[in-house]
């Protein structure tokens, strides 16, 4: 298991030729393992001047107790990190495999060797599924990321060897990892998700590079591999979800709102926004988040202005979507059923965001009750919120107001995505959020942003800006004290 560090653990990485250093170093869930010269920041410190302050970072993602850990490396250095002798692209994450070796620079005779970091789908299973291994310039590997009723997600990469041969150039860099989602559906519905995703271009929405349909009606969606896991696994500690700080929650909400506003302006409603469909680029505060899984998204730009099918997940679904606990048609909530109501619009996504925000701030799902679908649906229809619970004690009133405005059962009173961005909880920190978004999410440098003063000119931190973020995003000269987090039960 990756949540333990033991000398004989199969999920730890091993090093060779490092006299005086530990023989084996564990990669743990919920911890970034850092190598470099910085004694305060790094877990393994080097004195070699060629090694950067923070040279490279490792982490492990475990989606659930039954899945294999997925371990990543990201190069943060000035002089480069090498994986199996090939240079890594700076600030890009790479999925590690059993036996991989890592050198901190090209003249380094010392190497770290990794063992048993995750399992791949075997070739017989791969062949049994009938997937194609080569799709144009793409190569599909047998490395399984995840699977479910929707299909399978595998690791893929661009096969550029033929292009390089034609151009007479040969790259010594490690190929970047991508994900390919392979869906088996009816021919009439094969390209629904692909058509929606191909028209989207936003930093907080999964980027699709290519789609392909084979002779067996398998749809291949080649997209970015987001290496930080999903928000559910990020919040999961043992058998329960835990809260994160208000500041960290705010940065995540801010990004989701930008993504939703973009979608809704395009006439697209996600309809299945939940913790599992929000991906992180790294399992740490102030990382870029990405909305994924548009399998039941609806494009209203060329259709009706309202929707009339029951889809999504009950825990996150707005009351107007139409789940009813006393009808068999709703027991399988992935099945569409005709509503007996007036339909619903894009504000159903804002209700889902309200549930997500409630969970991030408290570790508690607002309408979960005893966990049964009937209880969840009935509680959501009433819409009663309990802000007197101890988990809300340290949360600002503006944050409570934001949650209350999103979890409003009267759709006409519920905020839309644009109104949400102007809510006091967001607007009070607008300039600071813009700066973080530009510098940490979009990676816009100060030099590149001189023409847009709104991105980098921000006031000092407000008194409510409590949580200590990475030093690169602390806005004033004083470092706020870290507030103790509360765990929801």
- Would the pLDDT of 55 be above 90? yes
Distance CA 65, CA 365 (A): 21
Q: Enumerate residues 6+ apart whose C-beta is below 8 A from 190.
A: 183, 213, 217, 219
By DSSP bridging, strand 278-280 and strand 289-291 are antiparallel
Q: Which two tokens stand for residue 311?
A: 């889809």
- Give bridge partners of residue 208 from the DSSP assignment: 223
Residue 151 pLDDT level (bands cut at 50, 70, 90)? confident
- In the structure, how many helices (H) and strands (E) does the chain have? 12, 23
* Predicted local distance difference test score (pLDDT) of residue 152: 85
63-67, 156-160, 454-458: the lowest-pLDDT one: 454-458
Region of residue 229 (phi > 0: left; psi between -120 and 50: alpha; otherwise: beta): left
Buried-state track 323-346, b at ≥16 Cβ within 10 A, e below 16: bbeeeeebeebeeebebeeeebbb
92-96, 302-306, 361-365, 444-448: the lowest-pLDDT one: 302-306
* pTM for the full predicted model: 0.79
Fold classification of 12-114 is: Tumour Suppressor Smad4 (2.60.200)
Residue 190 pLDDT level (bands cut at 50, 70, 90)? low
- Would the pLDDT of 237 be above 60? yes
Distance CA 290, CA 280 (A): 6
pLDDT in tens, 424-434: 999 999 999 99
Q: Which two tokens stand for residue 432?
A: 């600071």
* Predicted local distance difference test score (pLDDT) of residue 187: 59
CB 353 within 8 A of CB 256: yes
* Predicted local distance difference test score (pLDDT) of residue 428: 94
48-52, 139-143, 309-313, 359-363: the lowest-pLDDT one: 309-313
Q: Enumerate residues 6+ apart whose C-beta is below 8 A from 303.
A: none
Distance CA 176, CA 158 (A): 8
Find the catalytic residue in 100, 230, 272, 349: 272
Residue ranges of the domains in the chain?
12-114, 123-224, 231-427
Task: Give yes or no on whether 12-114 and 231-427 have one common fold.
Answer: no
Residue 354 pLDDT level (bands cut at 50, 70, 90)? very high
CB-count exposure of residue 115 (10 Å: 0-12, 13-18, 19+): middle
Q: Which two tokens stand for residue 99?
A: 């036996």
pLDDT in tens, 364-412: 888 776 666 676 667 667 778 888 889 999 999 999 999 999 999 899 9
- DSSP structural state of residue 338: B
CATH 1.10.3660.10 assigned to 231-427: no
Question: Mapping DSSP to helix (H, G, I), strand (E, B) and coil, where does residue 21 land?
Answer: coil
- DSSP structural state of residue 335: S
Q: Enumerate residues 6+ apart whose C-beta is below 8 A from 217.
A: 184, 185, 186, 187, 190
- Would the pLDDT of 253 be above 90? yes
What is the DSSP annotation of 240-286? Answer: EE----HHHHHHHHHHHHHHHHHHHHTTEE-S---GGGEEESSSSTT
- Give bridge partners of residue 16 from the DSSP assignment: 111
Distance CA 115, CA 90 (A): 24
Residue 272: active-site member: yes
CB 153 within 8 A of CB 179: yes
62-66, 173-177, 346-350: the lowest-pLDDT one: 62-66
Residue found under tokens 């060779």: 16
CB 274 within 8 A of CB 356: yes
Residue found under tokens 């992180």: 280
More confident: 407 or 441: 407
CATH number of 123-224: 3.30.200.20
């Amino acid at each position: 298991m990756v949540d333990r560090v033991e000398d004989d653990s199969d999920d730890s990485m091993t090093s060779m030729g490092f006299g005086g250093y530990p023989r084996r170093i564990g990669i743990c869930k919920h911890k970034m393992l850092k190598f470099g010269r910085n004694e305060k920041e790094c877990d393994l410190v080097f004195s070699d001047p060629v090694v950067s302050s923070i040279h490279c970072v490792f982490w492990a993602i475990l989606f659930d107790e039954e899945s294999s850990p997925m371990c990543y490396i990201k190069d943060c250095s000035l002089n480069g990190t090498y994986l199996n002798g090939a240079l890594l692209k700076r600030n890009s994450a790479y999925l590690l495999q059993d036996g991989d070796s890592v050198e901190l620079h090209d003249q380094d005779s010392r190497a770290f060797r990794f063992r048993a970091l995750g399992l791949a789908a075997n070739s017989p299973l791969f062949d049994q599924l009938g997937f194609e291994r080569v799709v144009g310039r793409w190569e599909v590997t047998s490395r399984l990321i995840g699977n479910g009723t929707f299909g399978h997600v595998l690791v893929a990469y661009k096969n550029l060897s033929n292009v390089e041969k034609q151009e007479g150039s040969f790259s010594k860099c490690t190929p970047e990892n991508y994900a390919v989602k392979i869906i088996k559906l009816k021919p009439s519905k094969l390209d629904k998700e692909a058509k929606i995703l191909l028209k989207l271009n936003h930093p907080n929405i999964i980027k699709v590079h290519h789609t392909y349909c084979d002779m067996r009606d398998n749809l291949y969606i080649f997209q970015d591999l987001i290496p930080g896991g999903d928000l559910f696994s990020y919040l999961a500690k043992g058998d329960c979800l835990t809260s994160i700080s208000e500041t960290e929650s705010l940065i995540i909400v801010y990004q989701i709102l930008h993504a939703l506003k973009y979608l809704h302006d395009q006439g697209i409603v996600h309809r299945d926004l939940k913790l599992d469909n929000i991906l992180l680029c790294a399992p740490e505060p102030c990382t870029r988040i990405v909305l994924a899984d548009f399998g039941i998204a609806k494009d209203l730009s060329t259709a009706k202005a309202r929707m009339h099918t029951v889809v999504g997940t009950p825990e996150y679904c707005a009351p107007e979507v139409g789940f009813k606990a006393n009808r068999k048609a709703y027991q399988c909530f992935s099945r569409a059923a005709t509503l007996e109501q007036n339909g619903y619009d894009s504000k159903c996504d804002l209700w889902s965001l309200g549930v997500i925000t409630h969970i991030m701030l408290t570790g508690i799902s607002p309408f979960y009750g005893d966990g049964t679908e009937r209880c969840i649906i009935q509680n959501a229809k009433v819409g009663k919120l309990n802000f007197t619970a101890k988990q809300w004690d340290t949360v600002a009133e503006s944050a409570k107001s934001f949650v209350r405005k999103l979890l409003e059962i009267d759709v006409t009173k519920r905020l839309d995505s644009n109104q949400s961005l102007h809510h006091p909880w967001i607007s009070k920190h607008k300039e600071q959020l813009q700066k973080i978004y530009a510098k940490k999410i979009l990676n816009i440098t100060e030099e590149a942003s001189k023409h847009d003063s709104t991105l980098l000119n921000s006031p000092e931190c407000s008194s409510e800006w409590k949580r200590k973020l990475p030093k690169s995003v602390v806005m004033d000269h004083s470092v706020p004290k870290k507030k103790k987090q509360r765990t929801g039960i």
